[in-house]
Amino acid sequence: MTRSGFRRYSTYRQATLAGAFTNTVFGFLRCYVLLAVASGAGGVANGYTPEQLATFVWVGQGLLAVILLWRWTELADRIRTGEVASDLLRPVHPVVSYLATDLGRAGYALLTRFLPPVLTGLLFFDLAAPTRWQTVPLFALSTGLAVVICFGCRYLVNATAYWLHDARGALILWTLGSGVLAGLYFPLRFLPDWITVTLWLATPFPSLLQTPLDVLVERDGRLVQAAMVIVQVLWAGLVLLACHAVQRRAERRLVVQGG
């Protein structure tokens, strides 16, 4: 199923090129804004050097398509049309099947949507290279966990269609809130410490982008790096458990028109 997900998304070549180009253009805008912030702060903005901020932006632009914050409405659409009934007849649990497909999509995005922005950043800006051997494997693990957590969040948002029949309102709220709370528009460390800690521990949003990027730019020491990834592991487990619980509850009340 993961291989099928990879092949499915590899058919949209023009959309892939357009998305990579768009992410790259916005990377320039975001990078210059944050570099101006660092310059106005005397060279270091809330613990981030200009090189770390540039890395934060360009790798973040690449990860945006890998974790896929937005635009996934497949489950909500199938619930609205009643096609979700066929998903319930399959021998694989819907959460497992959709997750497997999403992992294939993420693998394709890693090859086609992650590399162009990162290579562009390397070409035009000074990026921060990792100085600790454990940073690269921790970043890879953190990115994988971010994909799983983001899938779970999107699944829960789509699953509101079981009760609302039209999930567009929930999807709009997710689109508006996830980018800000995940650290896409600016590093969450720019906020007061108590807000940052509360978001990190009480919500899964920082685990989507902020954690992988902070791990990569080595914003903190080794122990804090590992602790942030452990928090991601906990959130991945909690979110997937929530997906299973919501799906089980929804199946008890699902009514498909015509039978």
Residue-wise pLDDT for 87-135, tens only, equals 888 888 899 999 999 999 999 999 888 999 999 999 999 999 999 999 9
pLDDT at 8: 80
User: Sorting pLDDT into bands at 50, 70 and 90, what band is 43?
Assistant: confident
pLDDT at 90: 84
Nearest Cα neighbor of 113 from 15, 210, 183 is 15
Q: Name residue 211's amino acid.
A: T
pLDDT in tens, 188-199: 999 999 999 999
Bridge partners of 45, per DSSP, are 48
pLDDT in tens, 145-161: 999 999 999 999 999 98
Quote the pTM value.
0.92
Average pLDDT, the chain: 90
Give the C-alpha separation, 204 to 150, whole Å: 8
Could you give phi then psi for residue 222, rounded to 5 degrees? -60, -45
- 177-181 long-range contacts (CB < 8 A, ≥24 apart) are 177/205, 178/69, 178/70, 178/153, 178/205, 178/208, 179/69, 181/205, 181/206
3-state SS of 194-205? HHHHHHHHHCCH
